[in-house]
Amino acid sequence: MKMIGHRLSRERSRLGLSAAAFAVLGGVDAAVQDSFEQGKHHPDAAYLATMAVIGIDVLYVVTGIPTCTEDLSVSRDEVVLLRAYRTSDEAGKKAAHAALQAIAQAFPGDMVVQVTRTQPATTLAASTAHV
**Hey, is 42 helix, strand or coil?**
coil
pLDDT computed for residue 71 by the predictor? 65
pLDDT computed for residue 106 by the predictor? 85
pLDDT computed for residue 121 by the predictor? 39
Per-residue pLDDT of the chain (131 residues; tens, 9 = 90+): 679 999 999 999 998 999 999 999 999 999 999 999 999 999 999 999 999 988 899 999 999 999 877 666 667 888 788 888 889 999 999 999 999 889 888 887 655 444 444 444 333 434 344 33
Domains present along the chain, CATH in parentheses:
2-63 (1.10.260.40), 76-103 (no CATH)
**Hey, is 124 helix, strand or coil?**
strand
Q: How far apart, in whole angstroms, are the C-alpha atoms of residue 40 and residue 8?
A: 13
Count of beta carbons in the 10 Å neighbourhood of residue 115 = 15
Q: Burial code of 37-61, b = ≥16 C-beta within 10 A, e = fewer?
A: beeebebeeebbeebeeeebbbebb
Q: How far apart, in whole angstroms, are the C-alpha atoms of residue 106 and residue 27?
A: 56
pTM of the model: 0.54
pLDDT computed for residue 118 by the predictor? 45
Contact 17, 55 (CB under 8 A): no
pLDDT computed for residue 128 by the predictor? 40
pLDDT computed for residue 1 by the predictor? 60
Q: How far apart, in whole angstroms, are the C-alpha atoms of residue 86 and residue 79?
A: 10
Largest CA distance in the chain: 65
pLDDT computed for residue 43 by the predictor? 96
